[in-house]
Amino acid sequence: MSDKNVDDYITEGIYGKRRPKEAEREQFLGTLRERIVLALTKGQVMSDKGLAKLEEAMQQHRDAKLLINGDVGYRFLKEEKQLADKYNISYTTISNEEKPTDIGAVLAYDYAVDQEEIFINEEEPAEEQQDTSNDKNDSFLSKIKNWFS
């Protein structure tokens, strides 16, 4: 016999059977990390920074499905939906107001693919990288001088 007590049966009856990795499912729009090919944050979806990578991933993974966060406005999702239609990839809008997430869209399979890197690295422009390296070499007085110039 199992080690369940009465409270476990009542909880299971009210909320349903517990699924493993529930927190991970809440973060990734109902799917597990091991199933994801590409994940875009809300900011990347709203600014269309990940469209090229998303299209590239859709070309390579035509059997995947696109999960879209319902908290993101429709006008920001227009290009993602057009890409999904272009490559005949089904998409679903997931709305869960109880469990907010910063994920805007996920391209995933129904089974594990264990993609090592699922996020797009947002690289800084070369100018900003040079500015930060110059700041380290500048003295305190030269920084103050720059404020007044």
Give a yes or no: residue 128 inside a domain: no
pLDDT at 35 over 60: yes
Q: What is the extent of the structural domain holding 33?
A: 22-121
Give residue-wise pLDDT tens across range 108-128: 998 988 888 888 876 544 444
Residue 37, pLDDT score: 92
Sign of CA dihedral 58, 63, 64, 68: positive
Q: How many domains does the chain have?
A: 1
Spatial distance between the Cα atoms of 18 and 124, rounded to a whole number of angstroms: 42
CATH code of the domain in which 60 resides: 3.30.1330.30
The region of weakest confidence among 61-70, 82-91, 133-142 is 133-142
The answer, yes or no, to whether residue 106 has pLDDT greater than 90, is yes
The strands making up 103-108's β-sheet, listed across from edge to edge, are: 36-41, 103-108, 65-69, 91-94
| Ramachandran quadrant class, 29 (left: phi over 0; alpha: psi -120 to 50; beta: rest) | left
62 falls within a domain: yes
* Domain annotation covers residue 38: yes
The model's pTM is 0.67
Within a domain: 58 = yes
What pLDDT is stored for residue 127 in this prediction?
42
Does the residue 32 lie in any domain?
yes
Give the number of other CB atoms < 10 A from CB of residue 14: 7
User: What's the CA gap between 144 and 121, in Å, rounded?
Assistant: 33
